[in-house]
Structure 1
Amino acid sequence: EQSPNKKVRYKMETSDNTSVSSSFSRASPWDLKMQPKTIKAPGAPKRFKSPFILYSTWKYRQIKDDLRRQGQSQKMIGIAKMVAECWKSLDPKERDVWNERAREDRQRFEKEKANYVGPWTITVAPKHLPRDPRAPKKPIPAYLAYSNEKRAAMRKMFPDCTNGQISKILADMWRSVHEDVRKHYLDQAAERRKQYQSHITAWQDSYLKSKGMGFSARHLEVQPTRKEIFPGA
């Protein structure tokens, strides 16, 4: 006979294992963005369009041009509603014209489909690595580090100034700061960039290797720009 303690303990272990496995099986939004995407092959035939799509494409441009000539502006959803109303009130003879165009477009698609021998879809890697909250943060430039240290003092000195005015004051201070002080912040920024480059490279390689990705990460060197060194110049 099975003791009640063993039965309860077995249920607790099963529940824990299930909860842990389910939590690890869920993919984060960043993981989903990192997955290779399946898109339509560039050389595959374009699918045929319905009569309404053909009509709305033509009518949308016509209404938009008329509004522009009249000096009026309308949002996209407003023009789309106007196109739908025009389609509902369209004369049957005119609608037959668009039905015929849609039939010709369908025939074009069927003909190209019969002659096409290439793949219909291809798998591509994401063009850019999306930002992951677990990834190392980008280093701040020299000017930003300088302004962060001086901003509180400038606020006390100029309490009536806005954030934009304080930023202009800090930019003027940075442009006229002594070369030794500037070199101190630039050296610190260079060290932060060096550390970030090594950390992000190691992190990307380890992450892609753990996910079994078939493509390599794009490692971009972080270099200071003239705008970072001389803001407002």
Structure 2
Amino acid sequence: MPRAAKEKPAAAKKEKKVKDPNAPKKPLGAYMWFCKDMRESVKKENPGMSVTEIGKRLGELWKEVSEEDKKKYLKQAEEDKERYNKESAAYNKEKSKEKEKAAEEEDNSEEDE
């Protein structure tokens, strides 16, 4: 029997949620700010390293960073979170206005019929 005939049908895949390009970008955590800051220097020190190895090295470096030095990145993360919250509130407010307007137009079109 052919191999394909024995295989079970694939489970229905969930449709990928379409992301609004106008939506605010999610905030970065302290570790991600650290990685962003250190990635280039790690690459320069180790030019032959793969992306995976660089990630592992960054993780090792993060563990070695003192709490005092981490405060810089924690502050950046907090500021980024505040930025996100402001942008998100403005975005959601705008989105709700659009929904209200669409609902209003739909009500008006139903009344015309």
| Alpha-carbon separation, structure 2, partners of 1:194 and 1:156 | 33
Q: What per-residue deviation string (whole Å, max 9, x for no partner) do you get for residues 25-69 of structure 1? A: xxxxxxxxxxxxxxxxxxxxxxxxxxxxxxxxxxxxxxxxxxxxx
| Alpha-carbon separation, structure 1, partners of 2:19 and 2:92 | 11
Q: What per-residue deviation string (whole Å, max 9, x for no partner) do you get for residues 81-126 of structure 1? A: xxxxxxxxxxxxxxxxxxxxxxxxxxxxxxxxxxxxxxxxxxxxxx
Q: Quick one: higher RCO (CA 8 Å, sep 6+), 1 or 2?
A: 2
Structure (1/2) with the larger helix percentage: 2
- Displacement, 1:149? 1.5
Find the counterpart in structure 1 of residue 98 from structure 2: 210
Is residue 178 from structure 1 mapped to residue 111 from structure 2 by the alignment? no
Gaps of 5+ in 2: 1-5, 11-16, 104-113
Is residue 201 from structure 1 mapped to residue 68 from structure 2 by the alignment? no
- Equivalences, count: 93
- Displacement, 1:173? 0.4
- Displacement, 1:165? 0.8
Q: What per-residue deviation string (whole Å, max 9, x for no partner) do you get for residues 132-178 of structure 1? A: 10121111111111111111111111112111111011001001102
With the length of structure 2 as denominator, give the TM-score of the two structures: 0.71
Find the counterpart in structure 1 of residue 9 from structure 2: 76
Is residue 147 from structure 1 mapped to residue 35 from structure 2 by the alignment? yes
| Alpha-carbon separation, structure 1, partners of 2:61 and 2:21 | 34
Gaps of 5+ in 1: 1-72, 78-128, 215-233
- The AA in structure 2 aligned to 1:76 is P
With the length of structure 1 as denominator, give the TM-score of the two structures: 0.36
RMSD: 2.5
- The AA in structure 1 aligned to 2:60 is D
- Runs of 4+ aligned structure 1 residues displaced above 6 Å come to none
Question: Is residue 33–residue 76 contact of structure 2 (8 Å, CA) maintained in 1?
Answer: no
